[in-house]
Structure 1
């Protein structure tokens, strides 16, 4: 018996294509149906073989190969085919968008982190978004 996609199936697939990390709850709010319905539909789409996997898309432009030399390090573009332990991630500050040269200064908010180039940027961000940060942290508490 052929399987016919409906508007709900299509909406779930499109939502996952935009961001495969979304939870069933996030998708249900987005397409305005219940979370159990999203979960059941997703499992059905997997069982019939339409969804084979939800895979990450890696932005290799953010990676650099770091080769240690006696006089320092040489950075080259990574090959798109292979990820290695010698690669480093080029990060930018979540406030000023400037590069994070060495060790980032993280700020944990609820269940995710923001990264900053310096303690000043981190402090400004905390002050600027103080209310939102408190709200998110409160929602996470049991």
Structure 2
């Protein structure tokens, strides 16, 4: 599991109005971001049945119900568990599914991405190499599909497109493949660097925030407080 312990840190930071450094005391919760066998077992159970109760999961994997609850909450707080949704059969709804590859101008890739995100018929988008986007689309009929293609073909930042209709989907799983080698990658909320070995976990306004070191933790708190006061 994500190990936690409390440590007292003394850090030296530059004092803004002078060339001197001041010593600051920071109490931080140090975390070791990793997944153990229990975490993986819980995640596999949830991937198999997102409606399973914590009690059912605990009986199947041999741990207590509070353990399952605490671990699910921790993995939800850090964003590993994004949520729970109902999977619908597109074929039974009479939908036509299409894979669309888009080549866009490199400098406007994000603009095209944001534009496509607004359309409900665009079910998934992946940013690929060479300034390409891969989109999974679903439509109720060919007319709506053609209207969509005609609309986005007018976007000047799109250079070319290639579409293929999905005839069958023999295998349709979540993108996250949970193997025994699966680790945990968390980016620092302040500097954006990947958190390795040990990181800092702080709680503000009922939500946990993850930082790579005590310095980023302090700077993030200051930035957070300024944003909250100006809101």
TM tier, smaller: 0.3 to 0.5
Q: TM (normalized to structure 1)?
A: 0.44
Question: Which has the larger helix fraction?
Answer: 1
